[in-house]
Chains A and B, each alone.
Chain A
Amino acid sequence: MLWHYCKLGLKMKMHCFTQKMFCTSSLSPLQLPSRMETHLWYVLPNEVKSQSLLSQYVDLLSPIEKDHVFSMRGDELQKGALLARALVRTTISRYQIHSRVSPSSLVFRKNIHGKPEVIWEQSDDWHPPSLHFNLSHTSSLIACGVTVGSPIGIDVEEKQRTTKNNILSFAKRYFSCEEVKVLSAISDPEVQRHEFIKLWTLKEAYVKALGIGFSGAPFNTFTIRVGAANSNPEGSAIVVVPLEKPTNLTTNWQFAQVELAGSHYAAICRQNDGLSGGAMEVIVRKTIPLVEEHHVTTIDPIVPVDDFS
């Protein structure tokens, strides 16, 4: 069975450079991210075809999660929902946290704003790590970000995503004035669409990192400012600027943008502890839960477009 899955892995089309491939028949342990690292895991639903594997994923889920998966309309949506839960459960349980943690034993809840979190078993002799995670999915890619010691928000979108509404109309309705100006200044509609998608993912990632919901941080109450690549070599090129005073929006957050599988933009937002010198260290792994993972070593960090003429 294991050999079969390994052979399966070798036949799959790779969209990224890879360094190491592991066949994981069971869940081999992982080192927790250091406080300066962010781990980003992703799975491509198109690459998960085995019905028996999907059945194994179902067995990992809680009854509420199973209900949720089956409430989705159609096979593809059900598969996506299933993979998302399988990804979260298998990934988190692998971090060397506690010998009694298995993917199916993890208990999740939502905070009062609806952000999911793990409930760890409490005992006198064990203090759970400050492990945070956040999920995002599109129909063609599901991603999970993991940090230690910092809340995290991630958002992924297909690079080819189009909007039903005109981009500037949408931006005028939902984004800040400064962001509308930046988008309006882009003359090429394709470039404009790509920059819109990237900005959307950054704003989503911030709101998800805050964990207070869309209404807690309406998109037009803050600007995500993407600076020129060489304007601040030490610091992050992306900052969040709240627009209202007073504001409940905090600014000690750092951002990163990566491309995944050549097909998706991913934005990551986590707290800026001031120690890591600005640039976020992101370790990306492509995975098929219970089967394999590939450490993606060559990421294209998205360079901010600073010349729109």
Chain B
Amino acid sequence: MASIAPGSFIPSLKPNQTFTRASNFNAVSLAVNGKFFPSLKLSSAPSRFRVSCAATPETVDKVCNIVRKQLALGDDAAVTGESKFASLGADSLDTVEIVMGLEEEFGISVEEESAQTIATVQDAADMIEKLISKN
């Protein structure tokens, strides 16, 4: 019985594709007012050409570190602004713990409504900037 070899998980469909870096297609899931929309596929544009969001790179980095720690991913794990919490393996308990970690790190308070709309690291960073600027 063959066990799964890394990188050849589903040979008939994605041969030799490894997922140690962000995938070539950028799937962005939009969550607006708690409603979940199917993923949109963007062409592979580098993140610096995206429409600029409010969060600074420093904020994004801090969020990435908190996420890495919570999900025990290792310091060199590829976590970027576009990383989706669900795709990184975060379940609901992880997400709540991440939000708590963000509250402590940034001195903010996150409403449950806002917490539900966070799907990516970037979403979290943008929300943090908004909450900080309100303080």
Contacts and interface: CB of A to CB of B under 8 A. Distances in A.
A215 B113 contact: yes
Interface in B1-48: 1-4, 6-7, 9-14, 19, 23, 27, 34-36, 38-39
B130 interface: no
A155 B93 CA distance: 11
Interface stretch (B54-62, B82-90, B121-129): B82-90
Given A54-B10, A73-B19, A164-B70, A215 B112 contact: yes
Nearest to B70: A164
B93 A163 contact: yes
A73 B88 contact: yes
A139 B89 CA distance: 8
Nearest to B21: A73
A163 B91 contact: no
Contact of A75 (B6, B88, B92, B116): B6
B91 to A, nearest CB: 7
Nearest to A54: B10
Contact of A163 (B10, B89, B97): B97
A165 B100 contact: yes
A170 B104 CA distance: 12
B100 A173 contact: yes
B4 A165 contact: no
Interface band, chain A: 35 or more
Interface string A41-68: 0000000011100110010000010111
A213 interface: yes
A219 B99 CA distance: 14
A161 interface: yes
Contacts of A157: 93
Given A54-B10, A55-B10, A49 B100 contact: no
Interface in A69-92: 70-79
A233 interface: no
B12 A55 contact: yes
Given A74-B19, A215-B34, A215-B115, A49 B9 contact: no
Given A55-B10, A114-B34, A173-B100, A75 B89 contact: no
Interface residues of B, number: 41
A214 interface: yes
A224 to B, nearest CB: 16
Given A51-B11, A67-B27, A214-B115, A114 B4 contact: no
A174 B115 CA distance: 12
B96 A174 contact: yes
A300 B25 CA distance: 46
Given A73-B88, A75-B4, A200-B93, A164 B69 contact: yes
Interface in B90-109: 91-93, 96-97, 100-101, 103
A75 B11 CA distance: 12
A8 B35 contact: no
A218 interface: yes
Interface in B70-84: 70, 83-84
B9 to A, nearest CB: 5
A58 B10 contact: yes
A5 B14 CA distance: 26
Contacts of B88: 73, 77
Contacts of A49: 1-4
A67 B39 contact: yes
A138 B14 contact: no
A66 B19 CA distance: 15
Contacts of A155: 92
A110 interface: yes
18 contacts: A49-B4, A50-B1, A54-B4, A64-B38, A67-B27, A72-B87, A73-B88, A74-B89, A75-B7, A77-B87, A77-B89, A79-B9, A112-B35, A170-B97, A213-B116, A214-B116, A215-B34, A215-B116
Given A49-B1, A79-B9, A112-B34, 4 more contacts: A64-B38, A67-B27, A71-B39, A174-B96
Please list the 8 inter-chain residue pairs (A to B) with the smallest Cβ-Cβ separation, ordered nearest first.
A218-B112, A215-B113, A215-B116, A114-B36, A215-B112, A75-B9, A77-B89, A214-B116
